[in-house]
Structure 1
Amino acid sequence: MTSPPPPARRHPDRRTLLRVAAAGLAVPALGGCVTSGGDDRSTAARGETSGDNPLGAPASTPLEVVIFSGGYGDGYATAAEATYRQRIAGATVDHKAIQKVGEALQPRFVADTPPDVVDNTGAGRLDLVTLANGRKLTDLTDLLDAPSLDDPARRVRDTLLPGVVADGTLDGKVYTLNFTYTVWGLWYSKPLFDRHGWRYPSTWESMLALCDEIKKTGVAPWTYQGKYPEYLNDPLLAMAAKAGGPDLVRAVDNLQPGAWKQQPLLDAATAIHELAARGHLLPGSEALSHTEAQAAWCQGRAAFIPCGSWLEAEQKGIAPAGFDMVMGAVPALGAADRLPFGAVQAASSESFLVPAKARNPRGGLEFLRILFSKGSARRFAELNSTLPSVAGATDGLTLSSGLGSVRDAVRAAGENTFTYRFRTWYAPLAKAVDDATGELATRRVTPAQWADRIQRAADALARDSTVTKFTR
């Protein structure tokens, strides 16, 4: 069995790319064209290793870097390239910023003439599983075990946030390193809560009590992106993961019999059902798109909205001055939860890889060592208001309310992060979960019926011999 990186999701805009980029799925696939080739880089350029150049990047061989030209721009990459030229005296860098990464680079991978570093992101990215099976990717272990740029006493792998290395691992080898870190939770306006004296709830019982208080003010306690019920799946599945722990998440992802009927999942579904039953959802939320629901929330029509850590950047120009949105961890179902209240659902994305047949793979590894340093990650955070996957990169920065709360949530979670992978691995199951949750939120199914529907879809998938199965 193979274990590709974590979940892809959502309609094709930025929130999609944040997770799909981590997944490595792609529109253009190389198919049988990549069955030749391998990791033999004996003819590739290599320089002398030293304390300043531990990976042996050669000064005599140009470095070609391809960056996805999307919402993050490429300024953070060109800054890292400047540092590369300073550290590798005499080196030159060929920088390309493109959008259709797969379309542009597929012929070069087939011809074994790829660039040295690729930011494999965007709707048309390359298929990582196909590339790995064709031995077209460099194992990044040398990079991960190299001394970090900031502290030679620490390896690069030891400077990354939890789950980043696992996110890029296929069949025991690390083929990608993801530069951004996305966290999911519940968002609210801190000034609104301060004005009313509301305290963010740490348990679902206290959430329901708070919702009763909020409703008295004429504000709806919750809204959600009803046309895309997967947003509501995030708090539901997070509550279940906290209650059931890693074993529950693995059972779901591994299509184990009865996985969706585990009690924590039923309890989490009951919690979401209660929101609707008690009238705590903004009327009409089930018909709202993500932009409509988020706009209603910014207008103060609802107190809470579930979303990932991209929300603040997405609401620039929409949220009023002084709104000061912050994200909180999803409340715990109860005192018996296996994971603490502060545990969060998180995954890395914006995938960087080094092709096996690159002319300068050692230079590619050194470029990534520079990119995944605190200084480089810090510049990225300043430019994009997005959390990078390098631990401590935002320390000392004056952050916006939203990004600051995301950083604080990651710090509080520590090693207690989790992510489901079924959404990436099995699109039909992801749709079945989304559809069932949409029905749950509108009280057209009960929690038990919700679980039954999804379990039938999971069982059918498990029996289908034409579907490649994955395990974790």
Structure 2
Amino acid sequence: MSETPEPGTGVDRRKLLGRTAAAGLLAVPGVGLLSGCLGSNDDDGGDQAEGEKTAANPLGVKEDAELEVVIFNGGLGTKYATDVHIPSYKKSFPKANVKFSQAEEISTVVQPRFAGGNPPDMVNNAGSKLMDMGALVAEGQAADLTDLFEAEALGGGGKVKDTLLPGTIEQGTFNGKPYVLQYAYTVFGLWYDSELFKKNNWAPAKTWADFTALLDKMKAQGITPYAYAGANAAYYQYLVILTSAAKIGGADVLKNIDNLEPNAWKSDAVKQAATAWAEIGAKYMNKANLGQKHTEVQLQQNQSKVGFYPSGSWLENEQAKETPPTFKYAVMPVPSVTGSDKLPNTAIYAAAGEMYFASAKGKNPRGGMEYLRHMLSKEGARGFTELTKVATVVKGAADGLTISPGFTSAQELTKAAGDNAFSFRWDSWYKKLDDECRAATNELMFNGGTADKFCDRMQKVADEVKNDSSIQKFKR
């Protein structure tokens, strides 16, 4: 992505999906999270558009009310919005003008509007410079999406909530209420060129010994065995480190981190994972990648200069223009670190990601939620996948699609993982932790950091967040 979400930030993408130290809505004692006057919309919402609720209009959208939509222009592009979702909305509400814009730095463009009291109605909060979602929720800027999930799905099939993959609503829930639609079902792993592997008779590695042996073979051929971009994509790598930790110690390792449990970052599983990956950084990476952006490093992989690249399933679409026809994307799970990992090699980090939300204090919050309902129709979800090569959280929407090698590989990874798919949420809940983990990860991987220093550094900031009464806490 232009600056991807990992998703989930998280992203995502980009939670996954992507976050940044340069942008955010930090909680400061005695000061509103968005600081500054919230403007005329900071009232009871009496001037907000609202129509009559009917079977065809279950959310009560005013049929001629303008809807403003802002989409992050990254690895997923924006055609899914302009070519699929907006036309779908317009079909239902032909009298409504849909005002569309895109941004590569969401916080730079949109954050001042929330502070000024004139936010867009629906925002795709993604990219490296996304807004602090936990702060938005705490400030009352994100609309409660309960009515959306309880509404009849567009096109039938029951309530919206019944058409979604398990865990979707929970992924966007803050202290019991859903405020965010995590829409893209993103699969994370180690991406490679299957044609390069065929040419060299290489096979995806399952064990750590096989993994390092394969990296040695790549190194011998002058290929940088493993790479990520330190300038803006450190979250790709910390996601991989914590994937290894979850495999070693079980998914509760990540739940404990989410819940700010005592010494969660100092668990044996996290230390073992950090130790293993620090060795990869010391032996198999190019230090020049520290100052490069993700698109620069991804291009190097397309040019057969990089072996493995950690990322989410948006990668193939993001690199479509740069990928030569001889390059075929494939993805493998993060290899098992020990012979006694609690989760199998096939276990993966995979979850709903790419955040979308309706503005509670916008002019048309009902329209914002209705737009999300159109995204969650089978037609809307299928169109998204066809244009982005990324699956959605809508059950069965991608059935029968054979879009590309990378998409197929990611689908196979998901099937093989079965119930052994996991995720974490601390990075979207606590931006301060996300910022620190990016820096700590770069130190570990590029600057000779140690596992103990990584764990101590992260635990110190986790404790600061836990003890800071101005930061709203979340739990799962």
TM-score when normalising by structure 2: 0.79
**What residue identity is the alignment partner of 2:67?**
V
The aligned counterpart of 1:156 is: 160
The aligned counterpart of 2:195 is: 191
Q: How does 1:81-96 map to 2 (within 5 A)?
A: 81-84=86-89, 86=91, 92-96=95-99
Q: Say whether the 8 Å CA contact 1:224–1:293 is kept in structure 2.
A: yes
Q: Say whether the 8 Å CA contact 1:177–1:353 is kept in structure 2.
A: no
The aligned counterpart of 2:146 is: 141
Separation of aligned partners in 2, 1:448 and 1:466: 29
Q: How does 1:15-26 map to 2 (within 5 A)?
A: 18-20=17-19
**What residue identity is the alignment partner of 1:95?**
V
The aligned counterpart of 1:456 is: 460
Separation of aligned partners in 2, 1:206 and 1:78: 45
Per-residue CA deviation, residues 411-469 of structure 1 (Å, 9 max, x unaligned), is 44344433333333444433443333333334733323432333334344444555544
Q: SS where residue 97 of structure 2 aligns?
A: strand
Separation of aligned partners in 2, 1:221 and 1:43: 55
Separation of aligned partners in 2, 1:317 and 1:281: 25
Separation of aligned partners in 1, 2:291 and 2:113: 38
Larger Rg: 1
Q: Does 1:66 align with 2:72?
A: no
User: Which ranges of structure 1 fall in alignment gaps of 5 or more residues?
Assistant: none
Q: Which of the numbers 295, 299, 303 marks the counterpart of 1:295? A: 299
The structure-2 alpha-carbon separation of the partners of 1:326 and 1:261, relative to structure 1 and needing over 3 Å to count, comes to: same
Q: Does 1:241 align with 2:241?
A: no
Separation of aligned partners in 2, 1:39 and 1:248: 42
Q: Which of the numbers 272, 278, 285 marks the counterpart of 2:277? A: 272
Q: Say whether the 8 Å CA contact 1:163–1:348 is kept in structure 2.
A: no
Q: Which of the numbers 370, 384, 387 marks the counterpart of 2:388? A: 384
Per-residue CA deviation, residues 332-387 of structure 1 (Å, 9 max, x unaligned), is 223543333333323411403264775683x6544433321121112122233333
Q: How does 1:30-429 map to 2 (within 5 A)?
A: 33=38, 37=43, 44-49=50-55, 53=56, 55=58, 57=60, 61-71=63-73, 72-73=77-78, 76=81, 79-84=84-89, 86=91, 92-99=95-102, 100-104=109-113, 117-121=121-125, 132=137, 138-152=143-157, 154-228=158-232, 229-276=234-281, 279-282=283-286, 284-345=288-349, 346-353=351-358, 355=360, 361=366, 365-429=369-433
Separation of aligned partners in 2, 1:295 and 1:207: 23
**What residue identity is the alignment partner of 1:65?**
L
The structure-2 alpha-carbon separation of the partners of 1:36 and 1:244, relative to structure 1 and needing over 3 Å to count, comes to: same
Separation of aligned partners in 1, 2:230 and 2:299: 13
Separation of aligned partners in 2, 1:226 and 1:102: 25
Separation of aligned partners in 2, 1:318 and 1:78: 23
Q: SS where residue 234 of structure 1 aligns?
A: helix
Query: Shift in Å at residue 213 of structure 1?
Result: 3.7
User: Which ranges of structure 2 fall in alignment gaps of 5 or more residues?
Assistant: 1-5, 27-32, 103-108
The structure-2 alpha-carbon separation of the partners of 1:423 and 1:149, relative to structure 1 and needing over 3 Å to count, comes to: closer
Q: Say whether the 8 Å CA contact 1:29–1:127 is kept in structure 2.
A: no
Q: SS where residue 93 of structure 1 aligns?
A: coil
Separation of aligned partners in 2, 1:398 and 1:131: 38
Q: Say whether the 8 Å CA contact 1:378–1:393 is kept in structure 2.
A: yes
Separation of aligned partners in 2, 1:281 and 1:81: 43
The structure-2 alpha-carbon separation of the partners of 1:367 and 1:421, relative to structure 1 and needing over 3 Å to count, comes to: closer
The structure-2 alpha-carbon separation of the partners of 1:413 and 1:30, relative to structure 1 and needing over 3 Å to count, comes to: farther
The structure-2 alpha-carbon separation of the partners of 1:218 and 1:101, relative to structure 1 and needing over 3 Å to count, comes to: closer
Q: Say whether the 8 Å CA contact 2:63–2:96 is kept in structure 1.
A: no
Which region of structure 1 is more displaced relative to structure 2, 431-440 or 254-263?
431-440
Q: Say whether the 8 Å CA contact 1:184–1:307 is kept in structure 2.
A: yes
The structure-2 alpha-carbon separation of the partners of 1:338 and 1:61, relative to structure 1 and needing over 3 Å to count, comes to: same
Q: Say whether the 8 Å CA contact 1:118–1:352 is kept in structure 2.
A: yes
TM-score when normalising by structure 1: 0.79
Q: Say whether the 8 Å CA contact 1:67–1:96 is kept in structure 2.
A: yes
- Paired residue total: 450
Per-residue CA deviation, residues 159-183 of structure 1 (Å, 9 max, x unaligned), is 2234431232223122232333333
Separation of aligned partners in 1, 2:290 and 2:42: 50
Per-residue CA deviation, residues 27-75 of structure 1 (Å, 9 max, x unaligned), is 99376748964589999421433xxx272656x7324322215423255
The structure-2 alpha-carbon separation of the partners of 1:30 and 1:400, relative to structure 1 and needing over 3 Å to count, comes to: farther
The structure-2 alpha-carbon separation of the partners of 1:290 and 1:83, relative to structure 1 and needing over 3 Å to count, comes to: closer
Q: Say whether the 8 Å CA contact 1:329–1:409 is kept in structure 2.
A: yes
**What residue identity is the alignment partner of 1:397?**
L
Q: Which of the numbers 414, 421, 442 marks the counterpart of 1:438? A: 442
Percent identical residues: 33
The structure-2 alpha-carbon separation of the partners of 1:411 and 1:65, relative to structure 1 and needing over 3 Å to count, comes to: farther
The structure-2 alpha-carbon separation of the partners of 1:407 and 1:288, relative to structure 1 and needing over 3 Å to count, comes to: same
Over the aligned positions, Cα root-mean-square deviation in angstroms equals 3.9
Which region of structure 1 is more displaced relative to structure 2, 388-397 or 442-451?
442-451
Separation of aligned partners in 2, 1:42 and 1:189: 51
Query: Shift in Å at residue 265 of structure 1?
Result: 0.9
